[in-house]
């Protein structure tokens, strides 16, 4: 038996993407090589459990092939994250389970042996007032480390690398065109981070270029201090990462962008922290006592310490096991309950001269 469901195709899922609260969700899956298949949508919501949505069957013809389209509809009653896959009963009574592929929770799915990974739907409540500049803006997303090396970029990197830090090694890649490489430890976590030296001054110095493209909004990936190059493992929410700049550098970027009619949006990561942070402080890189070190830490209540399965999950994703650590908890629950679930070119003279330099060994 063959089947097809694609989350980004309105033939199979409406509405597209996230669902506004109060809207009905319609899910379909096409099934070949079966005369009278039956199906249900298996829904899972954390804290509520499982719901089975019945599906109707319609025989269809397309491109000379005959197939059955199974369709189910339901209406969420509150804001939530919904996980779903399909249970399809074949003509011989066998149950086939169709869900997301192993690497993501969206896109085209596949049959699975056992319980499949779930697709995801986010149900949200629309704002009464939405900013015009956001609704109709042209947004350019920037990964700061890889966009542009601004004035004194190397000096900032050197100063940042002067700090002797425990934990993963940091490496400067001077040749801008070198592909990132990552070394991993026994748990699959990154043990060495590549940095290329892009910073906030580099973005500011390219505002004219972005303006010429018609950009009206810049969406910045995280800029707060962190151990990694992507900076989703926040170490200090009150400090701009020194390798990118400082508060004054950021204020100047925002001011000059505003003068050109460009808004700045920050990617604020507030539902988890890095384990190498002032809040968790696993490696002892910060003076204050973190939750990893003592239950008396002022941040201890931010985190929830579980059993071996939670520890294994947080090791795999390399984050602190915090309360609000939805990524870790979702990974663990998915295993147990619902199934494994802009770069602009810059002038050549700013791309370096082609060597990788480890922290503490710049020159």
What would the pLDDT profile of 192-238 be if each residue is shown by its tens digit? 999 999 999 999 999 999 999 999 999 999 999 999 999 999 999 99
Please tell me whether the overall predicted TM-score, pTM, comes out greater than 0.85 for this model.
Answer: no
CATH architecture classification, 129-363 = Alpha-Beta Barrel (3.20)
Q: State how far the alpha carbon of 337 is from the alpha carbons of 69, 94, 118, 175, 187, in Å.
A: 28, 22, 11, 46, 23
Q: What is the structure's pLDDT at 318? A: 54
Domain range annotation of the chain: 2-124, 129-363
Q: Are 173 and 194 spatial neighbours (Cβ–Cβ below 8 Å)? A: yes
Angle at 158 between CA 152 and CA 163, to 5 degrees: 140
Angle at 131 between CA 262 and CA 252, to 5 degrees: 30
Per-residue confidence band for 308, with pLDDT thresholds at 50, 70 and 90: low
CATH number of 2-124: 2.60.40.10
Average pLDDT over residues 121-150: 94
What would the pLDDT profile of 147-177 be if each residue is shown by its tens digit? 999 989 999 999 999 888 899 999 999 999 9
């Amino acid at each position: 038996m063959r089947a097809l469901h694609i989350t980004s195709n309105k033939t199979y899922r409406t509405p597209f993407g996230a669902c506004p609260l109060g809207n009905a969700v319609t899910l379909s899956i096409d099934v070949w090589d079966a005369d009278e298949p039956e199906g249900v949508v298996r829904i899972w919501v954390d804290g509520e459990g499982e719901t089975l949505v019945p599906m109707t069957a319609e025989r269809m013809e397309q491109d000379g092939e005959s197939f059955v389209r199974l369709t189910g509809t339901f209406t969420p009653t509150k804001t939530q994250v919904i996980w779903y896959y399909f249970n399809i009963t074949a003509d011989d009574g066998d149950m086939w389970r169709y869900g997301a592929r192993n690497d993501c929770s969206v896109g085209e799915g596949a049959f699975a042996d056992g319980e499949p990974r779930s697709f995801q739907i986010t149900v949200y409540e629309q704002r009464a007032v939405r900013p015009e500049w956001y609704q109709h803006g042209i947004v350019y997303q920037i990964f700061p480390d890889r966009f542009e090396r601004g004035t004194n970029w190397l000096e900032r990197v050197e100063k940042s690398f002067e700090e002797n830090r425990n934990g993963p090694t940091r490496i400067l890649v001077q040749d801008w065109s070198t592909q990132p490489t990552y070394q991993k430890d026994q748990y699959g976590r990154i043990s060495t981070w590549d940095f290329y030296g892009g910073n906030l001054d580099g973005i500011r110095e390219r505002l004219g270029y972005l303006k010429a493209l018609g950009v009206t909004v810049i969406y910045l990936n995280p800029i707060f201090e962190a151990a990694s190059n992507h900076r989703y493992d926040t170490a200090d929410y009150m400090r701009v990462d020194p390798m990118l700049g400082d508060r004054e550098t950021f204020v100047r970027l925002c001011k000059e962008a505003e003068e050109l009619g460009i808004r700045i949006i920050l990617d604020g990561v507030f539902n988890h922290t890095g384990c190498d942070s002032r809040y968790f402080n696993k490696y002892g890189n910060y003076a204050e006592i973190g939750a990893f070190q003592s239950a008396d830490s002022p941040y201890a209540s931010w985190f929830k310490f579980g059993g071996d399965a939670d520890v294994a999950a947080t090791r795999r994703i390399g984050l602190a096991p915090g309360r609000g650590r939805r990524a870790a908890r979702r990974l663990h629950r998915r295993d147990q309950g619902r199934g494994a679930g802009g770069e602009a070119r810059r002038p050549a003279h700013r791309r370096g001269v082609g060597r990788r330099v480890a922290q503490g060994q710049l020159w």
